[in-house]
């Protein structure tokens, strides 16, 4: 075993916690990494990967900006990608992180605890414990997940270095209560616009009020019943919501323009083009402009590697192995675009993501890390067990 002493003080502090994914989660939360400021945590994780490579299964480590890709090269028949983002939404008086008791269980409480530094800790602890994996693995730690899609580090690597992401199956460590969530909904945002005629509000009869013209748009939305669509055995609930409205010139002017911003979360049986066509039909007669769209991802649970992952998790303590649909959009869609089936699997409840009381249960963190290790190396014994 090669000895290696990290020069980075963050790496040095984290290295002693690799055998305890819960403590590692807390320490990762204490390194601020709001989107756009991931350099420090990326440097720390880069040092950890070098240490892991020297002391365990060797890794080929590559870096693109603040995204790291580390791959084993054992010659195994299958390659699994395990990915997680390093950034968080802005801190809300919840760093440094704390260990707390909540509803009778220990939790890591702090920004990023569930979204998704507990997932990153799951990756790092499993990577450190690997000695003789039955599957090759590519570990991905990426930047800018919480902001505009154009900045996303995983998307950047997919564009610039698609060969770095070659694999048979991908696991994204997004919070899923340590259960399997397959695929994800797609999302599209559009602006629906009404146009009127501007006039002085004292002589409103001389104008046409664009805000008033928007009332039928809101009525259509309020009267819509969202569908639940079954895709490859999983139920995806759609949603259609007004998420913004703008209009008005001054307090004494009848407005000539009003825009309603609408977000449609569509099941992964539809392409972005089909989702747009559905919206244009729904809002027939109105001016509509697409401002943002991301494809969904089918679950792909019929693929052999996905079936093997489900089987590996079956019966493990603290793990939910019955797959469910992911109702939000996640980066599994990026893997789907590359032709790689992917699931969400990580500790923590997504309902607490981005909240001031964000937290992740310690039991889920250790159970998820153990499950991932067991899938990659069934004979391995987790040092935190």
Q: Which residues are the active-site residues?
A: 87, 145
| Alpha-carbon span 68 to 60, nearest angstrom | 10
Query: Do the Cβ atoms of 262 and 190 come closer than 8 Å?
Result: yes
| Alpha-carbon span 357 to 109, nearest angstrom | 7
| Alpha-carbon span 317 to 310, nearest angstrom | 14
Q: How far is CA 359 from CA 128, 131, 171, in A?
A: 24, 31, 21
Maximal C-alpha separation, the chain: 85
**What's the 3-state SS for 351-376?**
HHCCCCCCEEEHHHHHHHHHHHHHHH
Neighbours of 374 (CB within 10 A): 18
Q: How far is CA 52 from CA 17, 61, 62, 90, 212, in A?
A: 12, 11, 14, 30, 63
| Alpha-carbon span 371 to 268, nearest angstrom | 27
| Alpha-carbon span 374 to 370, nearest angstrom | 6
How far apart are the two ends of the chain, measured CA to CA in Å?
A: 23
| Alpha-carbon span 324 to 372, nearest angstrom | 18
Query: Do the Cβ atoms of 172 and 63 come closer than 8 Å?
Result: no
The SS3 assignment for 220 reads: helix
| Alpha-carbon span 241 to 228, nearest angstrom | 15
Closest CA to 140 of 167, 175, 115: 167
- CA atoms within 13 A of residue 111's CA, in its CB half-sphere: 18
């Amino acid at each position: 075993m090669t000895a290696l002493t990290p020069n980075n003080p963050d790496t040095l502090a984290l290295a002693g916690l690799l055998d305890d994914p819960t403590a590692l989660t807390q320490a990762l939360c204490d390194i601020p990494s709001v989107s756009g400021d991931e350099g420090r945590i990326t440097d720390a994780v880069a040092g950890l990967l070098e240490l892991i490579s020297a002391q365990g299964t060797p890794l080929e480590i590559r870096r693109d900006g603040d995204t790291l890709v580390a791959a084993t090269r054992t010659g195994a028949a299958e390659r699994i990608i395990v990915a997680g983002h390093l950034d968080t939404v802005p801190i809300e008086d919840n760093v440094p992180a704390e260990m707390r008791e909540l509803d009778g269980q220990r939790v890591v409480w702090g920004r990023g605890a569930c979204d998704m530094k507990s997932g990153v800790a799951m990756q790092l602890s499993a990577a450190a414990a690997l000695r003789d994996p039955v599957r090759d693995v590519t570990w991905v730690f990426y930047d800018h997940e919480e902001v505009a899609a154009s900045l996303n580090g995983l998307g950047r690597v997919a564009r610039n270095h698609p060969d770095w992401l070659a694999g048979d199956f991908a696991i994204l460590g997004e919070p899923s209560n340590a259960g399997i969530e397959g695929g994800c909904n797609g999302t599209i945002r559009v602006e629906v616009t009404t146009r009127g005629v501007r006039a002085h509000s004292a002589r409103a009869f001389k104008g046409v009020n664009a805000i008033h013209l928007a009332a039928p748009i809101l009525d259509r939305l309020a009267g819509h019943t969202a569908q639940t669509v079954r895709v490859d055995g999983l139920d995806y609930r759609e949603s259609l919501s007004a998420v913004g409205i703008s209009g008005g010139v001054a307090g004494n002017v009848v407005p000539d323009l009003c825009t309603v911003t609408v977000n449609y979360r569509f099941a992964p049986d539809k392409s972005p083009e089909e989702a747009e066509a559905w919206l244009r039909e729904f809002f027939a007669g109105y001016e509509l402009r697409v401002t943002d769209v991301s494809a969904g991802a089918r679950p792909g649970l019929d693929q052999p590697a996905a079936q093997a992952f489900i089987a590996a998790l079956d019966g493990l303590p603290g793990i939910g192995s019955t797959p469910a649909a992911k109702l939000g959009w996640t980066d599994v869609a990026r893997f789907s675009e590359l032709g790689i089936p992917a699931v969400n699997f990580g500790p923590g409840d997504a309902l607490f993501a981005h909240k001031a009381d964000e937290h992740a249960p310690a039991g889920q963190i250790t159970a998820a890390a153990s499950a991932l290790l067991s899938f990659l190396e069934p004979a391995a014994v987790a040092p935190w067990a």
